[in-house]
């Protein structure tokens, strides 16, 4: 399971970096989103992959290895909400930039 998760993180981040290097603004925004999803998966995986485990410790005498850490889950949930908001902001900036320059090229003009 860990290998599949690591491959998934690598595919998200690799695809995001490839899209960041593209000349169109929309592709850059999608690349940033893919990198954010890869980082979210990485943070989520730091909480250990464990099924059928309680999320919070009941007392200090119980073995902590039997429980799932809730902090990475909370961090990823917060990062997803912030990621949606920044993606919406970037899309609005893309539309304004395209309206002002007439192109969605990163430099603001098409290459000759």
Tokens matching residue 46: 């730091």
Q: Is residue 35 part of a domain?
A: yes
Q: Which domain holds residue 72?
A: 2-48+68-101
- CB neighbours of residue 87 within 10 Å: 15
Please state, in angstroms and rounded to a whole number, the distance separating the CA atoms of residues 15 and 53. 33
Cα separations (Å) of 93 from 5, 27, 36, 87, 101?
33, 14, 19, 10, 12
Q: Is 83 helix (H, G, I), strand (E, B) or coil?
A: helix
Q: What is the pTM of this model?
A: 0.77
d(CA 39, CA 56): 24
Q: Is residue 36 part of a domain?
A: yes
**pLDDT 10s digits, 85-100:** 999 999 999 899 888 8
Q: Residue 87 is part of a domain; what is its CATH number?
A: 1.10.287
Residue 59 covered by a domain = no
pLDDT for 52-111, tens place per residue? 666 665 565 666 666 677 788 888 899 999 999 999 999 999 899 888 888 888 876 676
Domains held by the chain: number = 1
């Amino acid at each position: 399971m860990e290998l599949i998760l690591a491959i998934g993180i690598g595919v998200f981040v690799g695809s995001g970096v490839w899209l960041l290097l593209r000349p169109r603004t929309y592709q850059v925004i999608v690349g940033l989103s893919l990198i954010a999803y890869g980082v979210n998966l990485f943070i989520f995986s730091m909480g250990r992959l464990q099924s059928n485990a309680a999320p919070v410790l009941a007392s200090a005498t119980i073995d902590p290895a039997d429980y799932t850490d809730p902090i990475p889950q909370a961090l990823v949930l917060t990062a997803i909400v912030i990621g949606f908001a920044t993606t919406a902001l970037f899309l609005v900036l893309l539309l304004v930039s395209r309206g002002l320059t007439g192109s969605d090229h990163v430099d603001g003009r098409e290459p000759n």
